[in-house]
Structure 1
């Protein structure tokens, strides 16, 4: 990973600045300034100090006061994307700046407009080209949601603009409790409830008795993420304001309520069984059965039946990251989705009494302004682990807290809530705050890189004050995506011979529909806030993104098999972030993510529409691999439900990734046999491009694939030799690059040795 930028206390390289008109001074503008770093005078130890001195030298003679409005103001310094800084300057100061040593160029900053469910834009979905118009936005594709239920009154399930329900639909809208059949429509075309297993097991999950109504919000959130209709003017208490819509906004939703906060596998099996019968095209399962064998996993078993019928099944990877071998649903015939971050940063702005300012993370759900409030920095208070001590020392003040001890990682606001402080500034490197935490008190989080300027100001100033303004946002933060810290990692302990997760999709701070009876946020220790839309994080949120993409691909390519759709998603996924460097891992100190963290990479819907080549497979192919993995006849029968399958042809699976798993044997060579199908141009050829895992040698035969017609199949062999490998894990990739064309078919390679 490249060197982290030095940004003093101002900001981080992962933020692409968004200028808010509240902070643009009269007759001043914000400029991005490029500097020649090699021209930095030797008197300065770091470039930030040089930039700050440059700005301070620009004070125009004749100003009538030393106030914020009459001074140039440094906002951020940069050292990766550019060498330079951004600053609020008058035109005369800009002219003077051009005479400064090392000046290269300057230009005005741009205002960035925000969207709500921003993930469609982040995934490059648009109305002009790509998979949205090609699929007519998922029109008539039916997504069966296995979840906690649905809140039919949500505007995300209105049927404005929807055509009549497809004739193929065989489902019903089940009445029960306060849910009646008239609550379904042309968007929410079906709803059923399955609770018998949970009742028999005495499971205490939030459920409406015998009703598909959502009691905890999870199902409403996931289903609106996958296929919610357009809803204007929504937000999470002012954050993420805009128009909400799902990934496949013209697809249909059928809800199968199979759990509360917990559920029974039997109920899930019943729901999936019925969904197949009802005629769904895609099944979305934001649930996990734990790391259990395939032949005991209800999702795996029901998923095999769905796959046989041509139904695509998307599942979550689990939220047990960043620990290895924690992935759930590591099933060869299902898509397993990990979670990633997006480029929207919910923020507050912190302005010191000396006029310096910075952004930090916050989701305090009030459009508040704490203006010129006394701030205290006391080393005995830094842990913020005693409400009594905070009240005694910092009543009515803003307190600075640090989580160097790790305490705040799990107790970010408890002591602040129960003290008499006015607010808090948390200093933390943990990405968990931005990914999974909330802030029910006036507080914000800045990084240790940002903190020295704050601390220097507070400790060197008599009666220091700060101003904090909430409900601000920055769009375009970098790097994004990153693998979410909580996203479960591979390999799968239940099926390690196939690389899992398959890919990642947006899962952190996803805004989608919510239910009015479940809290959306908290204000203080005892005020519960409700909202029709809320921000949630988890691989539960990533899964419906992939489900929506699958619906779009199914709508554009009705004849594609589930394996073909999964292959298209995987081989076109991006392993590069918006900063043009490899995707980073929030769970591993921002090191570059490996395929065991992110699979093939971030899902790219538009590229998946035209993958060039696909790795296809049918039910017999999966059985052949079960035989290859020495599953017994009984175990296979448990999964397949049919004796028509046999083990006469044990074989490797035609999967779009390569997992060379050496399980404590004397073998040093792993061989793969793969077949690709041409879904691109009639006549084309592809040349192999290898990134060989460190310590291994790889042979691909042949190294060129030639096609003379569409849907033609061509096979190749891959041999991985680990005789020289001295590590337990190593990573690479195999890419088929179209000769004279635009298709790039990328597959990750993982070499994994058990000891």
Structure 2
């Protein structure tokens, strides 16, 4: 199967999955077995569930205890076990058997960013929310680092009584009032007798440390990445508690069984917020174990933020599609680590690079383009011989290829004694550029700048260039924009649910990182990275602030507040753009870019109860067996009031026109969380060829938490549409609030991926 690249790390391609290894027993493979609990069987503790699950295996496996390695009791009822085909066949015939999932592989997908979000120390919403105090954020990733100052507990209150998790750190590491829990669910190895030696939850890779610091890191003054982005590093919710759950080994992708166990353990321990910067390709919801686990989390009142993925810019590349999770796209901030290319003809082009340790001064160096012969490997500078072109002492123009490979390409250039690198985007990546760690003076420039540089190369026999390092610059650029890598909608699994949901800062973000070799350096390490794996914890932090300010809000209410108050204009007052330089669609940015202050006072919210998600699942056309894979308990769709995915009380609206469906109606219900006595009027905007009628056009409230419904009727009024999709909105406007729901219109909706 296709798996995600790490969103800001390069993986070794030669990866061995633990799912296929078991002490040399090549016929054993890992499966996640969902089971049905008899009504008369009462299990009151985690150990009760585990012992029952072991008993279910005893008649099918030669040794049940070593074979079973996870027992799920909170977000799903079942277990993970290593079985051969004969044992699996036997289990599948048992009365208690529901479904066997293959143990697939998933992978792991801030000085200025808080200011960009409008969060300023001692002021406004950040102060009102008490910086997330009392909320517990669970980061399901590859561990934590209690020795990093971003997780210092000075001034932190003790853990709340609701949190019951443990601490698996080994001396000299320990939990504190900041990192209040550290659990591991992955094995380091297994002895010949079957004894499990767990992998301690210490993060030596960096992914979890960075994502956790972005969500809830404490304030660290004079933080920088090699002098870049110098300032005070702090997470979005610095007074929230942190619990880390290690579900991934240091250099190996994550297994479904371990991720599910991490979610199960976190929810059982009592976290309020889950941050999941990991994922895999779209599959039907009943086969998606992360979707199954997070649905169980939502049923327990836990808010889930999940990265939208890093497979953009192609359509339907979004990987987080369950309507119960907040799917987070990445956006830029108004900070650049600037490296300007100056050509021999005097033209200059601003790019980005983290290499800021000395440039060429006023010297102009020879400029070469090894890819002139059109070989893609040479064009992108992934050929260590550069197509036979001598690059010694020269600046090398590299074109296209995977933008995440910039650091590797700079290494190849350094090894060939090249002087510097200019990486130009191909047309696919367009105007997206971001800083990466380079090993020679470098600049990442957009596609248009690259075309002009190529034109200059052709115009002279002796082209020259230099790279001027200008350091950290705040302001002067449009932001946010949607980078090319951020995964886009629409969802293949449920096209009528707009995905992604929201955009958060995810480009050029500063975060904590383990010091190399567990060394106790005087200066703590920070790095700058990009990816939806960083925008996801930003939104987890925002959710923690909202949970602290509004402890009675449900996960759906928090999600609605975030989406209906999002910004769709950038810092210049113009529509947010994507890598093409054109306005971004809702399929790229969701409802828009998060605005935490506005989200704190949304006026109206769209609430969804957990049982509404089950009605939605029934409406997808799944049979009862498939639905029972998703739900922890038995569900009979015939006894539920089934709803279509279009009618789920979602904060966004999707209109599914087809050649035969030209009229469509849906109903929404809003809850008043603003002024008790208030009136809202409908304000709509529709694209040409679509008519919208709203009934009623005015909503009047007399008390808090009062609910009102409205009906939307869409009619396609023109013939064929040149575009496959269009968009509009409905705003409910009062004296003090604007509640905006994005409307995406699909003119030829495909059937869902079932």
Into which bin does the TM-score normalised by the smaller protein fall? 0.7 to 0.9
Cα distance, 1:327–1:519 mapped onto 2, change above 3 Å = farther
Q: Does 1:327 align with 2:318?
A: yes
Q: What is the aligned partner in structure 1 of residue 478 from structure 2?
A: 479
Instruction: Please state how far the C-alpha of 1:544 moved relative to its aligned partner.
Output: 0.4
Alignment match of 2:729 (pick from 734, 738, 742): 734
Q: Does 1:413 align with 2:413?
A: no
Q: What is the aligned partner in structure 1 of residue 395 from structure 2?
A: 399
Instruction: Please state how far the C-alpha of 1:336 moved relative to its aligned partner.
Output: 0.9
Instruction: Please state how far the C-alpha of 1:318 moved relative to its aligned partner.
Output: 1.1
Select between 147-156 and 562-571 the one with higher mean Cα deviation: 147-156
Provide Cα deviations, 1:638-671, integer angstroms capped at 9, x if missing partner: 2221236754311221100101224x57322221
Cα distance in 2 for partners of 1:409, 1:545 equals 21
Cα distance in 1 for partners of 2:329, 2:259 equals 21
Instruction: Please state how far the C-alpha of 1:353 moved relative to its aligned partner.
Output: 8.2
Cα distance in 2 for partners of 1:253, 1:269 equals 19
Select between 544-553 and 479-488 the one with higher mean Cα deviation: 479-488
Q: What is the aligned partner in structure 2 of residue 12 from structure 1?
A: none
Q: Does 1:498 align with 2:505?
A: no
Instruction: Please state how far the C-alpha of 1:468 moved relative to its aligned partner.
Output: 4.1
Instruction: Please state how far the C-alpha of 1:735 moved relative to its aligned partner.
Output: 3.0
Cα distance in 2 for partners of 1:330, 1:572 equals 21
Q: What is the aligned partner in structure 1 of residue 531 from structure 2?
A: 538
Give the SS at the match of 1:591: coil
Q: What is the aligned partner in structure 1 of residue 360 from structure 2?
A: 370
Provide Cα deviations, 1:669-724, integer angstroms capped at 9, x if missing partner: 22111000111111111111111133211111111111111111000011122252
Instruction: Please state how far the C-alpha of 1:376 moved relative to its aligned partner.
Output: 2.0
Q: What is the aligned partner in structure 2 of residue 31 from structure 1?
A: none
Alignment match of 1:149 (pick from 143, 146, 151): 143
Give the SS at the match of 2:254: coil
Cα distance in 2 for partners of 1:690, 1:213 equals 51
Provide Cα deviations, 1:578-627, integer angstroms capped at 9, x if missing partner: 121111111xx222111111110111111000000000010111112222
> Superposition pairs for residues 332-731 of structure 1, below 5 Å?
332-349=323-340, 358=348, 360-377=350-367, 383=379, 385=381, 395-396=392-393, 398-399=394-395, 401=397, 403=399, 412-413=409-410, 415-428=412-425, 430=429, 434-435=433-434, 437-446=436-445, 468-470=467-469, 472-517=471-516, 532-586=525-579, 589-643=580-634, 646=637, 647-651=639-643, 652-662=647-657, 666-722=660-716, 724-727=718-721, 729-731=724-726
Tell me the matched-pair count. Answer: 614
Cα distance in 2 for partners of 1:574, 1:671 equals 27
Cα distance in 2 for partners of 1:535, 1:463 equals 36
Paired residues of 2:370 and 2:396 also in contact (CA < 8 A): no
Cα distance in 1 for partners of 2:742, 2:649 equals 14
Give the SS at the match of 1:401: strand
Cα distance in 2 for partners of 1:154, 1:127 equals 22
Cα distance in 2 for partners of 1:570, 1:591 equals 22
Select between 433-442 and 462-471 the one with higher mean Cα deviation: 462-471
Give the SS at the match of 2:671: strand
Q: What is the aligned partner in structure 1 of residue 22 from structure 2?
A: none
Cα distance in 2 for partners of 1:298, 1:456 equals 50
Cα distance in 2 for partners of 1:750, 1:621 equals 22
Q: What is the aligned partner in structure 2 of residue 33 from structure 1?
A: none
Cα distance, 1:636–1:282 mapped onto 2, change above 3 Å = same
Q: What is the aligned partner in structure 2 of residue 318 from structure 1?
A: 309
Q: What is the aligned partner in structure 2 of residue 220 from structure 1?
A: 209
Provide Cα deviations, 1:116-149, integer angstroms capped at 9, x if missing partner: 5311011111235432111100001000111011
Paired residues of 1:307 and 1:333 also in contact (CA < 8 A): yes
Alignment match of 1:269 (pick from 260, 265, 275): 260
Give the SS at the match of 2:627: helix
Cα distance, 1:402–1:712 mapped onto 2, change above 3 Å = same
Provide Cα deviations, 1:457-506, integer angstroms capped at 9, x if missing partner: 99999999766443612212422111121111111112222111111111
Q: What is the aligned partner in structure 1 of residue 15 from structure 2?
A: none
Paired residues of 2:331 and 2:503 also in contact (CA < 8 A): yes
Cα distance, 1:372–1:737 mapped onto 2, change above 3 Å = same
Cα distance in 1 for partners of 2:501, 2:270 equals 26
Q: Does 1:124 align with 2:155?
A: no
Select between 631-640 and 377-386 the one with higher mean Cα deviation: 377-386
Give the SS at the match of 2:361: strand
Select between 535-544 and 443-452 the one with higher mean Cα deviation: 443-452
Instruction: Please state how far the C-alpha of 1:508 moved relative to its aligned partner.
Output: 1.6
Paired residues of 1:227 and 1:246 also in contact (CA < 8 A): yes
**What's the TM-score once normalised by structure 2's chain length?**
0.75
Q: What is the aligned partner in structure 1 of residue 80 from structure 2?
A: none
Cα distance in 2 for partners of 1:450, 1:659 equals 37
Cα distance in 2 for partners of 1:494, 1:269 equals 20
Give the SS at the match of 2:230: strand
Cα distance, 1:718–1:367 mapped onto 2, change above 3 Å = same
Cα distance in 1 for partners of 2:392, 2:199 equals 51
Q: What is the aligned partner in structure 1 of residue 59 from structure 2?
A: none
Q: What is the aligned partner in structure 2 of residue 57 from structure 1?
A: none
Cα distance in 2 for partners of 1:400, 1:262 equals 34
Paired residues of 1:223 and 1:544 also in contact (CA < 8 A): yes
Between Structure 1 and Structure 2, whose CA radius of gyration is higher?
A: 1
Give the SS at the match of 1:541: helix
Give the SS at the match of 2:687: coil
Paired residues of 2:209 and 2:513 also in contact (CA < 8 A): yes
Cα distance in 2 for partners of 1:272, 1:168 equals 17
Instruction: Please state how far the C-alpha of 1:182 moved relative to its aligned partner.
Output: 5.3
Cα distance in 2 for partners of 1:607, 1:423 equals 45
Cα distance, 1:531–1:229 mapped onto 2, change above 3 Å = closer
Cα distance, 1:688–1:379 mapped onto 2, change above 3 Å = same
Paired residues of 2:365 and 2:464 also in contact (CA < 8 A): yes
Paired residues of 2:435 and 2:508 also in contact (CA < 8 A): yes
Instruction: Please state how far the C-alpha of 1:732 moved relative to its aligned partner.
Output: 2.8
Paired residues of 2:433 and 2:445 also in contact (CA < 8 A): no
**What's the TM-score once normalised by structure 1's chain length?**
0.75
Provide Cα deviations, 1:517-563, integer angstroms capped at 9, x if missing partner: 4899xxxxxxxxx9711112211111101100000000000000000
Cα distance in 1 for partners of 2:315, 2:371 equals 36
Cα distance, 1:319–1:475 mapped onto 2, change above 3 Å = same
Cα distance in 1 for partners of 2:518, 2:442 equals 20
Q: Which runs of 5+ in 1 are unaligned?
A: 1-115, 201-206, 521-529
Cα distance in 1 for partners of 2:569, 2:526 equals 30
Provide Cα deviations, 1:300-319, integer angstroms capped at 9, x if missing partner: 11212211121101111111
Cα distance in 2 for partners of 1:129, 1:120 equals 12
Q: Which runs of 5+ in 2 are unaligned?
A: 1-109, 191-195, 373-378
> Superposition pairs for residues 96-115 of structure 1, below 5 Å?
none
Cα distance, 1:456–1:281 mapped onto 2, change above 3 Å = closer
Cα distance in 2 for partners of 1:381, 1:717 equals 58
Alignment match of 1:298 (pick from 289, 306, 314): 289
Cα distance in 1 for partners of 2:357, 2:241 equals 36
